Amino acid sequence: MRKLILTLLAFGMIVPMIAQIIKEETLSEVTVMAVNYKYLDNVQSESAAVPVKMLEKKVATYDLKGSELYQDDYDLYQVSFYIPEGKIVAAYDKDGKIIRTIEKFENVRLPKTIMMALTERFPNWKVAKDVYRVSYHNKKGTDKKYKIILENGDKRIRVKTDAAGNFL
């Protein structure tokens, strides 16, 4: 009985190895190119809120040529992206490269540098509302601004900062 089980086990392992036929194929060459890496390098930062990063990544990876909007007749395409926290309007050229964007996000988590600057300058105030605006242009660069409303009891003030926490 033992010999029979070992023989069946050996036979069960050898037969599938013999039955496999290895077929070699040559695959066509594929070129992977990140078209909008400059946009992500200029716009994204480590301290940005998760919804902001998510939507900016979606804008950068959007396949314009594969969309139903694409036609060979146009040189410029404007595409809008929305989430509950904000929106981005992006202008693409006919190759799918981002030319410029306008971004607006409301009530997102503020970066630590801005929170530190706010607590240092306005110690007993708390953030009631914030708006994060980004404008990107492929030749002019990026402009990031925060508009913040602070409250202390019944008092309210408006403050503007840049991404580094410098007050404007």
Check pLDDT > 90 for residue 66.
Answer: no
pLDDT reading at 97 higher than 80: yes
In Å, how far are 60, 80, 107 from 38, measured between CA atoms?
A: 9, 19, 26
pLDDT of residue 37: 83
Q: Look at residue 29 and tell me if it is in a domain.
A: no
Is 16 part of any domain? no
pLDDT value of residue 149: 94
Determine if residue 73 is left, alpha or beta; phi over 0 gives left, psi from -120 to 50 gives alpha, anything else beta.
Answer: alpha
- Residue 135 in any domain: the answer is yes
pLDDT at 146 (0 to 100): 94
Question: Does the pLDDT at position 10 exceed 90?
Answer: no
pLDDT of residue 19: 56
- Quote the pLDDT of residue 29: 75
CA atoms of 166 and 160, how far apart (whole Å): 8
Q: What is the domain extent for residue 45?
A: 37-162
Q: Is residue 31 part of a domain?
A: no
DSSP state of 70: -
**Predicted TM-score of the model (pTM):** 0.74
Of 28-32, 104-108, 122-126, 130-134, the least confident? 28-32
Q: How many CA atoms lie within 13 Å of 101's alpha carbon, on the beta-carbon side?
A: 30
15 within a domain of the structure (yes/no): no
Is 1 inside a domain boundary? no
Q: How many domains does the chain contain in total?
A: 1
Asked if 99 and 93 touch (Cβ cutoff 8 Å), the reply is yes
For residue 145, what are the contacts with CB-CB under 8 A and spacing of at least 6?
Answer: 132, 133, 134, 160, 161, 162, 163, 168
Instruction: Specify if 25 maps to a domain.
Output: no
Average pLDDT, the chain: 85
For residue 85, give every residue at least 6 positions away whose Cβ sits within 8 Å of its Cβ, in sequence order, or none.
49, 51, 52, 105, 106, 107, 108
Locate 59 and state its tokens. Answer: 């804008």
Within a domain: residue 5? Answer: no
Strand-by-strand arrangement of the 98-106 sheet:
76-83, 86-93, 98-106, 126-137, 141-152, 155-162
